[in-house]
Structure 1
Amino acid sequence: MNSKHAIGVAAILLITVMPRVSADEIGGGQLVWLLLSEGIKQQFRPRSVTSGQDTQSAPRVAPAQKGSNECEVLQWDRKAFRKPSLAIFRPGKYCLDQDYEFNCSIFDHGCGGKMIEIRASNVDLDFRGHTLRLSGTRGYGGVWGLGQNIRIHNGRIEGAGAGITLMNRGSSPQNGYPSRPLNTEDVFTDTGFVVERMEFSDVLFAVMVAGSGNRIRDNVIDATLDAKASSGPPVALLSYGPSARIERNTLRLHDLTPGSNGYAIYLRSADGTVAEGNTVRVDDTPTGTIGVGLSNSKGVSLRRNRFDTEKSTELDGSSSMQQ
């Protein structure tokens, strides 16, 4: 009589050391980077679990789990990390299955880091309607990515210093910031980033991308134009590099620091970029607000946008728009 045998396979726990991040890789203004550099005690908790769990000395990333629709669910390993650690290091489709909240006490000196880190190309991150919520700090970011063909969609980010920052090696959104001198050594690869159907609430910078051929569309952005917090002219949406399309976004600006300028959209080295169908509204006085700022950008097309700002556009001497 024949018998059948089941062969067991040993489970392997992968130990991963989180990579260090340099100042050149972080976008969002000089002060935001200084906040990112400060190490302090932090508290981070998913809404469905309680805080106060013991941590381990050797950090590790919890293995992603298969969810429905063939995506891998990102999960925070509370036993390994006392602060946010939702990381992606390989191509694939990923998603969230819950909201996450990070609170930094006002009695602390500051908080730094990001909730989700991506270090891979060909990544699709679906929030599935969930929220990354931050309070008490501007030094923490929502999503930070390094690679190509990264798509982030269908979710919310609240209270972040920088909501979403995406780049590839060779260029950083930090170099496209209004107060920085023009950098002629940056190389713009075909990054093909997509940020769509995201909502940003009470952020300093909603989206910052560097590279060529990026798409930012159908987002709702509520931005605080605090020049002191950003250590320079505040920007809600920054695109650094050529051939971007910025379409059908709705931006609401408020709390501009008196006596300063603030941009809804800022484009640098953005030859051939199209900004179409965007709406910008200012809650308080429009004085100092600018719809689109252009720096070293030629042949930019602005079509059917609605700007409730003091100036619709601001161009430097090396920029031009298509007629």
Structure 2
Amino acid sequence: MSKRNVINASLASARSLATIRRRNTFFNKCIVLIAGNVALLGCTFSESACAADAISNPVTSCEVLHWDRKGSAFPYLSVVKPGKYCIDQDYRFSCSEWLGSCGSSAFLEIFANDVEVDLQGHTLSLSGSSIEIFGRGRNIVIKNGVIKKGKIAIQSLHAPSSDNINRGGGYTADRFDADNFTRVENMRIETGSIAISAANAVVRNNDVALNAGFLAPVVIRGPHPVVENNRLTRSTQPSKFSSYGIYLRDVEHAVVRGNTIRNYGTSGNTAAVALRDSQSVHMENNRIDNFERPLEQIDATDGQAGVN
């Protein structure tokens, strides 16, 4: 065979090999596309399996809140837009109300809907004054932290103020935003309270101790609340005013269950649970200790108590 024929044969062989490779690549791409479509169809026809895969890899990221020392001379954190937030350190401060060094606002203020704040086990304390987390909006969640001498106060946009929860007339359910779901979970509050004025509030797995200054360790105003599995204690001094472990007002279809409610002070003029202007309240499996009455019903109230 001549040299030219050898070269031509080699070129023909190379062209054939390239054609085969192109065909294989084409077929491989087709197989990949078909497999991808089958996978997508699998998710379409088996949504639960795909959802399970998504849940097994949850998104846990959060935006860390920091005190802007240049913007505020007092310890202060704020949230003004929806999102998941957290703190990554303890905030312990000393101040003097007499000298005006404590500031006049809450330590953490939330003015937005759809906000979750995870304290990630950290402690907030302000010796010399009380410390507060205040929220105004829908779907606010506070969880996993410690407050020493202070409170959590949350209210939906159109609800009456949580500061006036024991004053003024009663409100009907349409005064509260029905699409609101506020939660306070896994918090320990030493000398303070949780006060919520909103529909569908959930107060769960908290440890709240109250010495004085608040109506009750847990105060809720609004329909459909759930108060469960909390440890609530208060130290009551003799007074002409009533003292409570849980105070509920303007509630409908409330559930109060699995709570431990203790009073370490005088038992006179006390009740473990107070219901005011409330309808259809179901209570079960609550452990109550050293209260004069397990239940006090005020005004138009229809409640069923299950206590032991």
Q: TM-score, normalization: structure 2?
A: 0.73
* 1:19-58 map, 5 Å: none
Structure 1 pair 108–182 and aligned structure 2 pair: CA distance change class (3 A)? farther
Kindly tell me the number of residue pairs found equivalent between the two proteins. 244
Of 284-293 and 297-306, the range deviating more from structure 2: 284-293
Deviation at 1:321, TM superposition (A): 1.2
Match of 1:311 among 285, 290, 293: 293
C-alpha distance 257-88 of structure 1, shift in aligned 2 (>3 A): farther
Q: Which residue of 2 aligns with 1:217?
A: 204
Sort the Cα spacing of 1:218 and 1:319 in 2 relative to 1 into closer, same or farther, 3 A.
Answer: same
Report deviation, 1:70. Answer: 1.2
Any conservation in 2 of the 1:280–1:307 contact (CA below 8 Å)?
yes
Distance in 1 between the 2:172 and 2:200 partners? Answer: 19
CA contact (8 A) 1:214 1:244 kept: yes
Corresponding position: 1:246 with 2:231: no
Question: Residue 64 of structure 1 corresponds to which residue in structure 2?
Answer: none
- Within 5 Å, which residues of 2 pair with 1:251-290? 251-290=232-271
- 8 Å CA contact 2:236, 2:267 repeated in 1: no
Q: Percent identity?
A: 32
Work out the CA distance in 2 between the residues paired with 1:148 and 1:96.
21
Using the alignment, how far apart are the partners of 2:269 and 2:249 within structure 1? Answer: 19
String of CA shifts for 1:295-320, please: whole Å, max 9, x gaps.
Answer: 11010001111121111111023000
Find the partner of 1:189 among 147, 152, 177. 177
Residue 119 (structure 2) pairs with residue 131 (structure 1): no
**Equivalent residue for 2:135?**
145
- Name which of 95, 102, 109 aligns with 2:93: 102
SS in 1 for 2:162: helix
CA deviation string 1:123-164 (max 9, x = no partner): 1111000011022224xx42111111111110011112xx11
Q: Distance in 2 between matches of 1:258 and 1:247?
A: 28
Name which of 132, 137, 158 aligns with 1:170: 158
RMSD: 2.2
| 2: CA distance, partners of 1:192 / 1:144 | 16
Contact conserved, 1:91 with 1:122, CA < 8 A, in 2? Answer: yes
- Structure 2 CA distance, aligned partners of 1:236 and 1:198? 12
Report the Cα distance in structure 2 between the residues aligned to 1:132 and 1:281, rounded to whole angstroms.
Answer: 25
Amino acid at match of 1:92: G
| In structure 1, C-alpha distance between the alignment counterparts of 2:123 and 2:206, rounded to whole Å | 14
Contact 1:225-1:257 within 8 A present in 2 as well: no
CA distances 1:13-36 after superposition (whole Å, capped 9, x unpaired): xxxxxxxxxxxxxxxxxxxxxxxx
For CA contacts below 8 A with separation 6 or more, give which structure has more relative contact order. Answer: 1
Considering only CA atoms, is the larger Rg found in Structure 1 or Structure 2? 2
How big is the shift at 1:255?
4.1
Match of 2:189 among 197, 200, 205: 200
Task: Measure the CA separation in 1 of the matches of 2:112 and 2:97.
Answer: 34
Contact preservation (8 Å) 1:119, 1:146: yes
Q: Which residue of 1 aligns with 2:72?
A: 81
Structure with the bigger percentage of helix: 2
Instruction: Flag the 1:136–1:180 CA change in 2: closer, same or farther, 3 A.
Output: farther
1:181 to 1:165, Cα distance in 2 relative to 1, 3 A: same
Q: Deviations over 1:236-276 (max 9, x none)?
A: 21111111100011011014353332111111110101000
State the 1:111 CA deviation: 5.3
Aligned equivalent of 1:60: none
Q: What TM-score do the two structures reach when normalised by structure 1?
A: 0.70
